[in-house]
Each structure stands twice: as structure tokens, then as C-alpha cells.
Amino acid sequence: MRIDSFKIEDWMNKYCPEAKYDLTTTCIKPLCVNELFSFDSSKEIFNTSLTYGDIQGSLRLKNAIKSLYENQELENITITHGAIGANQLVFLALLERGDEVVSVLPAYQQHYSIPESIGAEVKKLFLKEEHNWLPDLNELEKVITRKTKLLTFTNPNNPTGSVIPDSMLEKIVEIAEENNVWILSDEVYRGLNLYGNPYSKSIADIYEKGISVGSMSKTYSLPGLRVGWIAAREDLIQEIIKHREYNTISVSILDDYFSAIALENRDRIAARNFEIMNEGVNILKEWLASEPNIHCVLPKGGTTVLLKYKKTIPSKVLCRELLHKTGTAFLPGETFEMEGYIRAGFCTGKETLTAGLTSLSEYLKTSV
Ligand SMILES: Cc1ncc(COP(=O)(O)O)c(C=O)c1O
């Protein structure tokens, strides 16, 4: 099966290793093993044999994931290799050649390139800066029809940092419901709203055909545990499990164990992470106030922000030159179909963020 190359991943694999100040990252300073162990008084993992473990994920982990939702039962949840594994399984289980998919961009490329590789017709709906990077419901109403099988979006959004308000989410559900459309909401940044309740409503809790994808990588700062999940209607989960059996068996028993511990201690992780996030947003605000060459909508959640630069230089050239001259890495908008923008991770910690933004300012003073 042919598939486009994954542009963001290609870029990061090629350029991030040489970065001194890496602002391409979407993670909030990952936890180290010692910190995780400090949450675990039993240390029972030392006496656990390294079998495949529970094939569908341990009951302890599934219960911890269930507690992130309002109305999901254990039967509605399956464990995957990260959100990347989860998204792929959803597309494989749901789509066939000729199906119509509406994908809200900018987004993680899986959300349009996998459906395209399956042979689906993908309609791309671009978020716009003038709408604060929120979906335009009038446009959505026009683009979704009875022919549409799946609507897919990311909430909170990577790369823009926008958060769909719960009231707008309800309206999106109404549009989908009228047309009998599934919704896949990539919720890997759920729990990272900067204002109000950190957790937006999950699509799986408010819509019968809502599919929620989550993972340990962003909100819980554990990308090294390759654990994600899908919460959805039980019959769809059963279809997904058919595909899962061909590519997963189980997630590592170590990943399963530590993920459960982390989720049981998520308040402690959140307290630490919100300090880093708030510090990042404050640095960003201060920098923007004295930076004439950049415009941006400040993030409402998540870990990234989209910067519009007031220059004509292509984003890839900008990012390559900046990296070579200063050691600072940003992600070029061209890699996610947003030429003229660059993405910055603002949860990289004070030193990296300040140094990275300062070097961008210096660079923009002299570029065309
Ligand atoms: C929107 C989105 N979905 C999925 C993923 C993959 O996450 P995971 O590490 O859980 O596989 C990412 C990673 O950056 C992401 O930003």
C-alpha cells in the first residue's frame, strides 16, 4: 500500500539531533524513571515476570484510563502502541477505498495521509488564524454530507494550541449526527487546557459515534512508554481489536505497569506540567510584545504554538538556516501544509525557550 512520507517525522529525524535548542518538541519535559518510581511504593514490578502480560492491557491500566472519561466502560477501551498506533487502527478498522473523510488541518499527518493511502477521498478543512484556529461551523456544515463517513480533528490542537470550547464541540456533534458521521478526536493533549477545566469533554463521552484517542506521551509526559488507547463504542472496539491482533499482541508489561502508576498519580504530574506550561506562555507573551516580525494567536492549551513570520522566506529555508547558524530548531509550516508559519513547542523549559526565541528574533532582523 503506497503512502506519502511523514513530513514532520522526516524533518525531525533529520534535523533535531543537531539542535542545541530544540523547539520542535511537543512533549513537556519527560519524566525520568526515578520520578515514576517515587510514585510506586510497592515496587512489585521487580517480581513480575516479563511475559506478554494482559493481551488487551491490564485491568489496572484500563481502570485508570476509564477514570479519564465520564461514561466509558472497560469494554469501550483498547490499549495501543501510542496514539500513533491508535489512530492507525481506527483508520484501518473504519475505512475502505472510496469512503469520504473530512480532515481538519493543520493536523498530525496520520489524519489525512493514512485515509488517502487506504483510497478514501479526503476533504481538507483548514483552520484559520482569523477564527482563532477554531473550526468554522458554517464551512463544516457545507463540507460534511450524507456521503461523509468520518470527521477527524485534534483537540486541543497541535500545532495551533487552540481548544474547541465544549459548547462548540456539541454543535460539531450535531452536524455529524445529522449526517450519521463518525468523529475521531485525537485527544493526546486532553488535560492540558490552560484556562478553566484542564480537561475538555471527550468526544467519546458526548457522541455515540465519537472515537477518542489518547496517550501517555503529552499530558502525562511519558512518550518513552509507548502506550496509547482508543475509547469508542463497543462494536467498533471489537472491529479495531481484529486489526490490533495483527500488529500489537500486547504493549510491554513494563509500559503497562508504569502507565497505570502515572495515571493514578496524574494530579502530581499535572501540577508539575502546568508550572512548565504557564512559564512557557509567559515567556512567549513577553517575547511577542517586543517582536515586530512575528504574529501569533496565543495557545489556549496543548504544548505548541503557530508563529506567523512577516517575511517571504520559505519556512524550510528559514528553519534550516536558523538551525545551522544558531543551533535552534523550529518545525517548518511546509511540513504540515501551513507555509509561512513555523511551529514552536513552548513547554521546553525556560532556558531552551528563551534562547530559541531570542535566536529567532536575531535571525529575522536580517532575513528577507
Ligand atoms: C496530534 C498527535 N497525535 C498523535 C501523536 C503520536 O503520539 P504518541 O507518542 O502517543 O504515539 C502525536 C505526537 O506528536 C500528536 O501530536
Kindly tell me if the per-residue pLDDT of 368 is higher than 90: no
* 24, 25, 108, 211, best to mutate for ligand 1 pocket (most atoms within 8 Å of CB): 108
290-296 average pLDDT score = 96
318-324 average pLDDT score = 97
Q: Where does the chain hold its CATH 3.40.640.10 domain(s)? A: 44-265
Give the model's pLDDT for residue 149: 98
Give the model's pLDDT for residue 39: 94
Kindly tell me if the per-residue pLDDT of 355 is higher than 90: yes
Give the model's pLDDT for residue 320: 97
Percent of residues, the chain, with pLDDT higher than 70: 100
The answer, as to whether pTM is greater than 0.85, is yes
CB 225 near ligand 1, within 6 Å: no
- Tens-place pLDDT, residues 27-63: 999 999 999 999 998 989 999 999 999 999 999 999 9
**Residue with CA nearest ligand 1 atom 14:** 26
Domain spanning 44-265: which CATH class is it, in words?
Answer: alpha beta
Atom of ligand 1 nearest to the CA of 189: 1
- Tens-place pLDDT, residues 17-26: 989 999 999 9
Give the model's pLDDT for residue 1: 86
* Whole-angstrom distance, CA of residue 277 vs CA of residue 283: 10
Q: Which fold has domain 7-32+267-366?
A: Aspartate Aminotransferase, domain 1 (3.90.1150)
DSSP letter for each residue of 139-202? HHHHH--TTEEEEEEESS-TTT-----HHHHHHHHHHHHHTT-EEEEE-TTTT-BSSS-SSPPP
Query: Three-state DSSP class for 43?
Result: coil
* Whole-angstrom distance, CA of residue 224 vs CA of residue 19: 20
Give the model's pLDDT for residue 267: 97
Kindly tell me if the per-residue pLDDT of 85 is higher than 90: yes
> At 367, is the pLDDT very low, low, confident or very high (cuts 50, 70, 90)?
confident
* 217, 226, 263, 304, best to mutate for ligand 1 pocket (most atoms within 8 Å of CB): 217
- Tens-place pLDDT, residues 96-132: 999 999 999 999 999 999 999 999 999 999 999 999 9
332-350 average pLDDT score = 97
* Whole-angstrom distance, CA of residue 112 vs CA of residue 4: 10
CB under 8 Å to 207, separation ≥6 — which residues? 173, 176, 177, 183
3-state secondary structure 52-98: CCCCCCCHHHHHHHHCCCCCCCHHHEEEECHHHHHHHHHHHHHCCCC
- Tens-place pLDDT, residues 9-18: 999 999 999 8
**Residue 289 CA, ligand 1 centroid: distance in Å:** 31
Give the model's pLDDT for residue 56: 93
* 7, 13, 84, best to mutate for ligand 1 pocket (most atoms within 8 Å of CB): 84
- Tens-place pLDDT, residues 162-220: 999 999 999 999 999 999 999 999 999 999 999 999 999 999 999 999 999 999 999 99
One-letter identity of residue 144 = I
Q: Where does the chain hold its CATH 3.90.1150.10 domain(s)? A: 7-32+267-366
> At 230, is the pLDDT very low, low, confident or very high (cuts 50, 70, 90)?
very high
Vertex 238: Cα angle to 213 and 192 (nearest 5):
10
